[in-house]
Amino acid sequence: METELTEDIDQPLRDRLKAHPGPALLWGAGLCLLLLLEGPTYLDGLLGAIGFGLGLLPGAPGAEAFASASAFFSELPHLLSRELIPNRGYYDGSAWQGTFLGLEPKYAWLIRFLLVYAYVAVLLGWLWYGYVTFRRHYRAADWTPTDDVIDRLRSHYWGLFGLAVVVFFITMAAFAPVVGPTTAEENIQGPYSHDMQYYDADTETVETITIGEANLGSASRGSGDSNVGIWSYDDFGRFHPVGTLVSGKDLFTFLAFGARVSLFIGLGSMAIAGFIATTLALVTAYYKGVADLIVVLTSDSVQAMPALLLVILATVVFKNHWIAELYNGAMLFILLFALIRWPGLWRAVRGPALQVGEQEWVDAAKSYGQRPTVIMRKHMAPYILGYLLVYASLTLGGVIISVSALSFLGLGITAPTPEWGRAINIGQQYIASQSWHISLIPGILITLVVTGFNALSDGIRDAIDPQSEGAEGGAAGAAAGGGGG
C-alpha cells in the first residue's frame, strides 16, 4: 500500500492525465466553449493592449497593425455584443424599433447587463470546478497547505464581500463597451460625429439628430426639466440607468469606462511597485548588511516626502511633456504612484524575506553552489508573494482614491477620458438639487471599491496567516479582561 502511494506521488502529472483523461477533457471542453462565446472580446482586448503598449515605445513597429486587428475583432458578433442584444432604438408612436425583441431600451439593456455578470459568474464557477477536478483526480497529495488557505477564505464573509465587490468592479471595467447603454465613441469621445434617430411626438415623425445635440437637450443641471435622473429616459428616447452628466452624456457609460482607467492605473502602478519591492526585499534578505542599509535609507527618504504634494508638483512639471500625453496622463500616474508606493510594499515583505533567508533550505542551496539569483527566485520569492498580494491589494485601493482625488482637484486624467473623481467635481454644485446623482453615485462607487479591496486583502491575510486574526482577538480580549478587573 505504501509502495503504491509513493509511486502515485512520483508519477508526473502528464501520466496521470493520460491514465484518467475524462474529467480533464470535460473541463477543457467547457472552458473552450465559454471562451469561444466571447472570443472576439478577448482578442479585441489582447490585441488592443499590445497595440497600446507598442504605441508607447517611440519608433516601435506594428502598433497600427495591432490596432487595426483589434478594431476588426471588435466588430465581430459575439454572445454579449450590442449587435445581438441592442438597446438603442426609437419609439415610432406604436412600438419600439431597433431594440432587442422590440423591448423598451431599459429592459433590453438590463438583459445584456445581467447576461454579462451571469457569464462572468459561470466562467469563475467553471474555473473553480477545474480546481476541484484537479484536486480530486490529478493531484498526487490528498492535502496541501493551499487547501486550508482556501477553506479559511471561503468561510471569511468579510473577505467574500470584498471579493464580490472586486469582481463587480473588474467586470465593469473589462466589459465596459458592453455593459454601458451607449459607447464611449458616441457618448464621450465624438458625440457630434454620430447620428441617432428619435420620434418627435409633436410632428409624429422620426427625426435624425447628432448625439452631441441630443446631449445638450439631456443635461442634468438642477431640477425639473433640467434633470435626467436615475432610471429614466431623456427627451430623445434614450435610457440612462443612473442619469446623465451636466453635459448630457450618459453617466453609467462614463463610470464604466472610468473603471477601466482606475483599474489600469492601480494595477500598473502596483505591478511596477511590487516588482521593485520584491526585488529589493530578496536582495536585502540575501546580502543583508550594506545592501539592506542602503535600501532602508532610500525608502525612508521616499516616504519622508509628502506624497500628495509630490504628485501635484510632478503633474504640473510634466504637464506639457510627452509622457503626460500617454493615455491622457495615466502612464504618468502609474510611474508616480509606483515611485511613491514601493517603500511601503518593500517594508511589508522585508520581514518575511529575512525569515526565509535564514531557513535551512536556503543555506543548503548556497552550499550546493547555486547562483544567488536562482536561490532568490526559486527558494525565497514563492514564500513572500502571498504577503505582497495582501499589501498590494490594500495599496491598490489607496491608489484608486488618490487618482479620484487628483481628478477632483482638476489635476488628474485629462478630458475627455472618463474618471470618477472628475464626475464628482463637475456635479458638486448640484448635490443639493435633483441632479445629486452626478456626484453621489461616483462617490459611493469609490467608497465601495476601496472598501472591497481592503476587505479582500483582510480575507487573504487571515487565510494565509490565521494567527493574525487570532492575535488581534486575543489582545482585544486581554484588554477587555484587564479593564473589567
Check residue 60 and give its pLDDT: 62
Angle between helices 307-317 and 330-357 (to 10 degrees): 140
Check residue 481 and give its pLDDT: 34
Check residue 69 and give its pLDDT: 82
Q: Are 198 and 237 in contact (CB under 8 A)?
A: yes
CATH of domain 252-458: 1.10.3720.10
Domain coordinates of the chain in residue numbers?
A: 21-78, 184-249, 252-458
Angle between helices 437-464 and 466-484 (to 10 degrees): 100
CA 399 – CA 395 distance, rounded (Å): 6
CA 86 – CA 93 distance, rounded (Å): 19
Check residue 224 and give its pLDDT: 80
Check residue 239 and give its pLDDT: 96
HSE-CB for 294 with a 13 A CA cutoff = 10
Check residue 485 and give its pLDDT: 37
The residue among 116, 124, 126, 127 whose CA lies nearest residue 164 is 124
DSSP 8-state assignment for residue 185: I
| pLDDT tens for the chain, residues 1 to 485 | 444 444 455 578 888 888 889 999 999 999 999 999 998 888 887 777 777 776 666 666 677 887 788 778 777 778 888 889 999 988 888 899 999 999 999 999 999 999 999 999 999 999 999 999 999 999 888 888 889 989 999 999 999 999 999 999 999 999 998 999 999 989 888 899 999 999 988 888 999 999 999 999 999 998 888 899 999 999 999 999 999 999 999 999 999 999 999 999 999 999 999 999 999 999 999 999 899 999 999 999 999 988 888 888 888 888 777 777 777 788 889 999 999 999 999 999 999 999 998 889 888 988 888 899 999 998 899 889 888 988 998 899 889 999 998 888 888 788 888 999 999 999 999 999 999 999 999 999 999 999 999 999 999 989 988 876 544 443 333 333 333 33
CA 460 – CA 150 distance, rounded (Å): 9
Whether pTM exceeds 0.75: yes
For residue 471, count other CB atoms closer than 10 A to its CB: 11
Residues in contact with 102: Cβ distance below 8 Å, sequence separation at least 6, in sequence order:
95, 96
Counted residue by residue, the chain has a size of: 485
Check residue 10 and give its pLDDT: 58
Q: Are 254 and 197 in contact (CB under 8 A)?
A: no
Burial of 463 (0-12, 13-18, 19+ CB in 10 A): buried
Check residue 394 and give its pLDDT: 87
Q: What is the pLDDT of residues 172-218, one digit of tens each?
A: 999 998 999 999 989 888 899 999 999 988 888 999 999 999 999 99
Residues in contact with 457: Cβ distance below 8 Å, sequence separation at least 6, in sequence order:
162, 390, 391, 393, 394
Q: Which residue has the cell 466589459?
A: 175
Residues in contact with 390: Cβ distance below 8 Å, sequence separation at least 6, in sequence order:
348, 457, 460, 461, 464
Check residue 469 and give its pLDDT: 52
CA 271 – CA 278 distance, rounded (Å): 10
Check residue 427 and give its pLDDT: 93
Q: What is the pLDDT of residues 90-131, one digit of tens each?
A: 888 889 999 999 999 999 999 999 999 999 999 999 999 999
